[in-house]
C-alpha cells in the first residue's frame, strides 16, 4: 500500500485529471494510510501547501482556539491542531472534497522532519550559517548556496553522512527543489520546530525543523507548483540518528525541563509595553489612558507567550493585539508605523526569529482593525 501511495512520477506522467489537484480518491487513500501509521492528518487547501482556512467564527479577532468547539465537532479549523486519526472524519473530509491536500501534525506523529531549502538568497553573516559553530574568515565559502550545503558541512564536521543522502529513511522532493528528510523521534523527547537560522533556535541556514508545533506535507500531495515526490526506495522514517539528536539538543530544539521561566523582556519590547500602558509613544505625544491601557494589555499578553513554547494561542493573541492597534490607528490615536513597531517588538520577544509567521498575522489583524475605529470609553481619554 505504501509503495502505491508514495510512487514517484514526474509531472509529465500524470493525467490531466490529476492536475493541479490529486486524482479522485488518491488524497483520501494517502490520508488513510498516514493515519494507519499513527500520523494524525489534517486537510490542506486544494493546490496549496497551507492548511484550509478557518471558518468565519474562528477568524474573528480575539478568537481563542482553546475555547473553540469546531475541532470537537469535527471541523478542520486551526490547521494542524485539528489533525485526527479518526477514519470516519478522514473519510468525510476527503470524501466530500477530494482535491484537498494532506498535512501531518509532526508532534503527535512522533516525527522530526528536516526541511532543506534551495532558495536563491545571499549568504547571511557567518555566525548564522551553523548557529553555535564559528566559521572563521579563513574558510572559503565559495559555492555554498543553500541548505543542502550547510547541512552537508555540519555532517562533515561530525564525520557523519548528510541526512540529504540518507537512503535508509523516507525522503521527499519538494516542488521548489528542496528536500524533506523524515525521521522517527526516539523516546519521549518533544523536539521543537525551527526556521532557518534566525535569532531563535536553528540548526543551519536554509534548514527548517518540523516537529512539535508544526506540520509536514504528505508525500504525493499535488500543489500548483508541483508534486511532493518520494526519493529512493525507503517509504518509512528511520529512527533519528544519535548525532543529529545531539545537534538538535545543542541548538535548543528541546523545551526546558519543567515549566519554563519567562525570558527577560528585551529593552525595545519592554519600552513598547510600558509606553502603551503609560499612554506615551515618543514623538506621537500622549496616548489617552483608555487607549493606552487597551493596547498595553494586549501587548503584554502577547509578550507573555514567551513563557510557553507551544500551546499558548500565540497567533490568536497577536491577532487580537493587531486588531486593537488597527482600531486605534483608524481612530487617529496611533500611527501605522508605531502600531507595526510595537506589535513586532512584542511578537519577536514571544517567538524570536519567526518574522514570516508573525508578520502575516500582524498585517491581517491591523487590516481588520482599520475597519472598526476603537473609541475608548467616555471619561477614559
What is the pLDDT tens value at each position of the chain, 381 positions in all?
444 455 444 333 333 333 334 455 889 999 999 999 999 999 999 999 999 888 888 888 877 887 788 888 788 888 888 899 999 999 999 999 999 999 999 999 999 999 999 988 888 888 889 999 988 888 888 889 999 999 999 999 999 999 999 999 999 999 999 999 999 998 888 999 998 765 568 999 999 999 998 999 999 999 999 999 999 999 999 999 999 999 999 999 998 765 444 444 444 444 544 444 444 333 334 455 556 667 877 888 888 777 665 556 778 788 888 888 888 888 888 888 888 888 988 888 877 767 777 888 888 888 888 888 876 544 433
Q: Which three cell numbers stand for residue 369?
A: 482593525
Distances (CA, A) of 56 to 4, 239, 319: 38, 41, 14
pLDDT for res 244:
97
In a domain, 24, yes or no: yes
Give yes or no: residues 303 and 181 share one domain: no
Q: Which three cell numbers stand for residue 35?
A: 493515519
pLDDT for res 310:
57
Q: Which three cell numbers stand for residue 75?
A: 471541523
In a domain, 377, yes or no: no
pLDDT for res 166:
97
In a domain, 148, yes or no: yes
- Contact between 300 and 292 (Cβ < 8 Å): no
Give yes or no: residues 208 and 346 share one domain: no
3-state SS class at 304: helix
- Cα 215 to Cα 45: distance, rounded to the nearest angstrom: 14
Give yes or no: residues 306 and 172 share one domain: no
Pairing of β 226-227 and β 222-223: antiparallel
Distances (CA, A) of 278 to 103, 112, 143, 185, 377: 44, 44, 52, 47, 17
Q: Which domain does 75 fall in, by range?
A: 2-250
In a domain, 134, yes or no: yes
In a domain, 257, yes or no: no
Give yes or no: residues 284 and 146 share one domain: no
- Contact between 334 and 276 (Cβ < 8 Å): no
Give yes or no: residues 274 and 237 share one domain: no
In a domain, 374, yes or no: no
Last residue of a domain, one of 250, 275, 296: 250
Q: Which residues pair with 216 in a beta bridge?
A: 104
- Cα 77 to Cα 75: distance, rounded to the nearest angstrom: 6
With a CB cutoff of 8 Å and minimum separation 6, the contacts of 32 are 87, 90, 91
- Cα 375 to Cα 363: distance, rounded to the nearest angstrom: 21
Give yes or no: residues 67 and 211 share one domain: yes
With 0-12 CB in 10 A as exposed, 13-18 as middle and 19+ as buried, what is 258? exposed
pLDDT in tens, 295-310: 877 888 888 777 665 5
Give yes or no: residues 127 and 168 share one domain: yes
Give yes or no: residues 326 and 240 share one domain: no
Give yes or no: residues 224 and 307 share one domain: no
- Contact between 119 and 146 (Cβ < 8 Å): yes
In a domain, 36, yes or no: yes
In a domain, 23, yes or no: yes
Q: Which contiguous run of DSSP H or E holds residue 207? A: strand 207-210
Distances (CA, A) of 152 to 119, 139, 145, 202, 377: 16, 15, 12, 15, 59
Last residue of a domain, one of 250, 285, 302: 250
Give yes or no: residues 290 and 170 share one domain: no
Last residue of a domain, one of 250, 280, 299: 250
Give yes or no: residues 202 and 314 share one domain: no
Give yes or no: residues 174 and 295 share one domain: no
Number of domains in the chain: 2
Amino acid at each position: 500500500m505504501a509503495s502505491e501511495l508514495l510512487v514517484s512520477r514526474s509531472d509529465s506522467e500524470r493525467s490531466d485529471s490529476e492536475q493541479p489537484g490529486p486524482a479522485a480518491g488518491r488524497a483520501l487513500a494517502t490520508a488513510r494510510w498516514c493515519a494507519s501509521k499513527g500520523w494524525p492528518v489534517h486537510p490542506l487547501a486544494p493546490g496549496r501547501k497551507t492548511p484550509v482556512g478557518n471558518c468565519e467564527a474562528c477568524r474573528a479577532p480575539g478568537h481563542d482556539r482553546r475555547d473553540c468547539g469546531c475541532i470537537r465537532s469535527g471541523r478542520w479549523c486551526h490547521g494542524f491542531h485539528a489533525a485526527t486519526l479518526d477514519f470516519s472524519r478522514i473519510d468525510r473530509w476527503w470524501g466530500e472534497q477530494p482535491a484537498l491536500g494532506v498535512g501531518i501534525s509532526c508532534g503527535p506523529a512522533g516525527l522530526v522532519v528536516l526541511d532543506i531549502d534551495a532558495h536563491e538568497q545571499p549568504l547571511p553573516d557567518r555566525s548564522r550559517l551553523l548557529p553555535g559553530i564559528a566559521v572563521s574568515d579563513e574558510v572559503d565559502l565559495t559555492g555554498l548556496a543553500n541548505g543542502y550545503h550547510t547541512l552537508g558541512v555540519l555532517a562533515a564536521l561530525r564525520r557523519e553522512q548528510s541526512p540529504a543522502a540518507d537512503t535508509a529513511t523516507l525522503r521527499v522532493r519538494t516542488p521548489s527543489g528542496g528536500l524533506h528528510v523524515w525521521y522517527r523521534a526516539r523516546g519521549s523527547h518533544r523536539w521543537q520546530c525551527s526556521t532557518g537560522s534566525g535569532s531563535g533556535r536553528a540548526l543551519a541556514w536554509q534548514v527548517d525543523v518540523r516537529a512539535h508545533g508544526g506540520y509536514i506535507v504528505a508525500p504525493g500531495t499535488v500543489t500548483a507548483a508541483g508534486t511532493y515526490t518520494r526519493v529512493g526506495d525507503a517509504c518509512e522514517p528511520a529512527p533519528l540518528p544519535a548525532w543529529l539528536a545531539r545537534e538538535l539538543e545543542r541548538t535548543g530544539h528541546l523545551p526546558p525541563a519543567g515549566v519554563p521561566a519567562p525570558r527577560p523582556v528585551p529593552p525595545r519590547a519592554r519600552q513598547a509595553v510600558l509606553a502603551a500602558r503609560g499612554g506615551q509613544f515618543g514623538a506621537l505625544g500622549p496616548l489617552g489612558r483608555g487607549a493606552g491601557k487597551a493596547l498595553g494589555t494586549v501587548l503584554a499578553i502577547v509578550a507573555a507567550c514567551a513563557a510557553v513554547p507551544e500551546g499558548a494561542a500565540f497567533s490568536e493573541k497577536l491577532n487580537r493585539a493587531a486588531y486593537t492597534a488597527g482600531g486605534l490607528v483608524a481612530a487617529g490615536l496611533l500611527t501605522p508605523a508605531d502600531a507595526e513597531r510595537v506589535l513586532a517588538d512584542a511578537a519577536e520577544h514571544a517567538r524570536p526569529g519567526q518574522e514570516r509567521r508573525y508578520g502575516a498575522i500582524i498585517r491581517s489583524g491591523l487590516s481588520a482593525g482599520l475597519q472598526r475605529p476603537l473609541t475608548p470609553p467616555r471619561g477614559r481619554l
